[in-house]
Amino acid sequence: MEIIFWCSRGSVPVCGPEYARYGGETSCVEVRSDKGGRIILDAGTGIRRLGASLLKEQASRADLFFTHTHWDHIMGLPFFQPLYQHGFRLNLYGQPRLQGDLPKLVFKNLLRPPHFPVPYNQVMSGIDYQEFQSGLEMQGFYLETIVLSHPNLGQGFRISSDGRTFVFLTDNELGYCHRGGASFEEYARFARNADLLVHDSEFTPAEYRHKKGWGHSTCTQAMELAAASRAKRLGLFHHNQDRSDHGVDDMVQQCAGEINGKGMALECFGVFQGQVVRL
């Protein structure tokens, strides 16, 4: 399995020399199986470059899941070039119990004047809305989901393929249970033995004291979850819009120090734009 992080920033896209290494585009992750399967998680601004990549390799289909429909996870969709290609098929997946037909509603509202000049009915690719449940098998993947602890809810993913497991929990607050969300122990069970856990790391512990209930976690909470779930690697994700490259480095160092101090066999890194992780 191969995971391509087209971006890792949270809340709003940013640019500038202080963000050069980790990047400024918002959430979009591509997961590939060894047998050629591919799924996409989120349509943040990073999906623009993924779209160009799909056209380059002459792909004719994309399967897109959303963690949730906050702006930073959907705002790249109108700039996903395959939308405007005849013959391209885009499958959008939503869970009826959790999101209802939100992906469909959101998509139709995104592509509508005065927000965007091209109306939905002029999109040339075929768009299919599919309902799914946790436990979905497709294209060599096994997908399980868990409800996120986040305002307006959302879903986290556990994706297994080729004997490896990737767990993606962004926009998840471990220190506070939002309505409908799960407990720390439930998230630890969900991420058990993951080869890679990528988790929300929006805040430092000092910042979090004033941001409790905002729907995001600290780097140390993410590390504690990785330890409790016995994950092999931890990727810090959803970097705060004001967090410079040095700031992300500091978070990684803080986690690495605690990991070493506890003698754990856990690798921690900050997810950067364009990063490819092979499991």
- In the bound complex, what is the minimum distance in angstroms from residue 113's beta carbon to Zn ion? 26
Element holding 41 (H helix, E strand): strand 38-41
- In the bound complex, what is the minimum distance in angstroms from residue 46's beta carbon to Zn ion? 12
Q: Specify the residue for token string 């066999």.
A: 265
The nearer residue to Zn ion, 45 or 160, going by C-beta atoms, is: 45
Nearest residue to Zn ion, scored by beta-carbon proximity: 70
Beta strands in 47-154 (DSSP E): 61-65, 89-94, 126-131, 136-138, 141-147
Six token digits for residue 124: 């040339």
Asked if 77 and 110 count as a contact pair (C-beta separation under 8 A), the reply is: yes
The nearer residue to Zn ion, 10 or 51, going by C-beta atoms, is: 10
By the 10 Å C-beta count (0-12 exposed, 13-18 middle, 19+ buried), 210 is classed as exposed
Given the rule CB under 5 A, which residues bind Zn ion?
Answer: 10, 70, 72, 171
- In the bound complex, what is the minimum distance in angstroms from residue 119's beta carbon to Zn ion? 27
The nearer residue to Zn ion, 229 or 240, going by C-beta atoms, is: 240
Q: Is 152 helix (H, G, I), strand (E, B) or coil?
A: coil
- In the bound complex, what is the minimum distance in angstroms from residue 243's beta carbon to Zn ion? 13
- In the bound complex, what is the minimum distance in angstroms from residue 177's beta carbon to Zn ion? 16
Bridge-based pairing of strands 38-41 and 28-32 is antiparallel
The nearer residue to Zn ion, 63 or 171, going by C-beta atoms, is: 171
The nearer residue to Zn ion, 10 or 23, going by C-beta atoms, is: 10
Q: What DSSP state is assigned to residue 203? A: B
Distance CA 9, CA 22 (A): 8
- In the bound complex, what is the minimum distance in angstroms from residue 270's beta carbon to Zn ion? 16
Distance CA 167, CA 170 (A): 10
Which of 108, 57, 106, 104 lies closest to 85 in space, CA to CA? 57
The nearer residue to Zn ion, 41 or 123, going by C-beta atoms, is: 41
- In the bound complex, what is the minimum distance in angstroms from residue 95's beta carbon to Zn ion? 16
The nearer residue to Zn ion, 69 or 229, going by C-beta atoms, is: 69
SS3 content of the chain, % helix, strand, coil (to 5): 25, 30, 45
